[in-house]
């Protein structure tokens, strides 16, 4: 019988911390700009206006539950599956406007990337993969004191790398927009 795939507790704890921070930021962004977020949801043209407010509240609640649920090892696999499900929904919701060429609307993500792009869909797929890694069985190795020191550093490093990549993607999008604007003015 093949061996089950396992994940080292250091990697699982650091990944869970990073993802919890990501979901917490997304929920906070939606709460702090609730009316803007419901407007963004309206721009997607998926839900009727009558259900936008309850749907927005539900998404915020789910993101909060995922953020909290990723932290304890016992609830981590369930929270990871729920988070992956949310990101799947978000990715699918992004594809429809992108297929129609509607990139002018906000993604509603709460990060530095503010407009829809295929890179956001790819980002969500990669995050789904990371979340699904958290459903693997723990390796059985106990966390050491050095692991406990490394976890916050790893979470911070992952967060800073994630933010840097999002800023690079956003800047590249602005550069493409400026180039196309200049190109259209010339012709």
Domain enclosing residue 88, as ranges: 6-186
Tell me whether residue 1 is in a domain.
no
**Alpha helices for the chain (secondary structure H):** 9-32, 34-44, 52-69, 76-99, 118-133, 145-186
| CA-to-CA separations, 116 to 4, 108, 171, in angstroms, rounded | 38, 9, 14
pLDDT given for residue 122 in this prediction: 92
Tell me whether residue 96 is in a domain.
yes
Which ranges of the chain have pLDDT less than 50?
none
Tell me whether residue 176 is in a domain.
yes
> What is the helix (H) or strand (E) element at residue 138, kind and residue range?
strand 137-138
Pairwise CA distance, residues 123 & 74, whole Å: 27
pLDDT given for residue 167 in this prediction: 84
How many domains does the chain contain in total?
A: 1
Is the CB of residue 52 less than 8 Å from the CB of residue 108?
no
Q: What is the pTM of this model?
A: 0.87
pLDDT given for residue 115 in this prediction: 77
- Helix 118-133 vs helix 145-186: angle between axes, to the nearest 10 degrees? 170
Tokens, residue 78: 């369930």
In tens, the pLDDT along 90-145 reads 999 999 899 988 878 888 776 656 678 888 899 999 999 999 999 998 888 898 99
pLDDT given for residue 51 in this prediction: 96
Tokens, residue 3: 């061996």
pLDDT given for residue 112 in this prediction: 57
- Burial of 133 per CB tally in 10 Å (0-12, 13-18, 19+): middle
- Which residues share a beta bridge with 138? 7
């Amino acid at each position: 019988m093949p061996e089950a795939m396992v994940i080292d507790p250091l990697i699982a704890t650091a990944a869970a911390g990073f993802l919890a921070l990501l979901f917490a930021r997304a929920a906070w962004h939606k709460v702090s700009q609730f009316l803007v977020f419901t407007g963004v949801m309206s721009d997607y043209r998926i839900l009727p206006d009558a259900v936008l407010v309850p749907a927005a509240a539900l998404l915020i609640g789910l993101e909060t539950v995922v953020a909290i649920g990723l932290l304890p090892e016992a609830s981590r696999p369930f929270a990871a599956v729920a988070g992956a499900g949310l990101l799947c929904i978000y990715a699918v919701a992004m594809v429809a406007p992108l297929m129609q060429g509607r990139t002018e609307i906000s993604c509603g993500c709460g990060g530095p990337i503010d407009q829809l792009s295929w890179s956001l869909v790819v980002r969500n797929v990669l995050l789904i993969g990371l979340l699904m890694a958290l459903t693997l069985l723990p390796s059985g190795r106990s966390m050491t004191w050095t692991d406990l020191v490394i976890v916050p550093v790893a979470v911070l490093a992952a967060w800073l790398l994630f933010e840097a990549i999002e800023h690079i993607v956003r800047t590249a999008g602005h550069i493409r927009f400026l180039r196309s604007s200049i190109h259209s003015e010339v012709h």
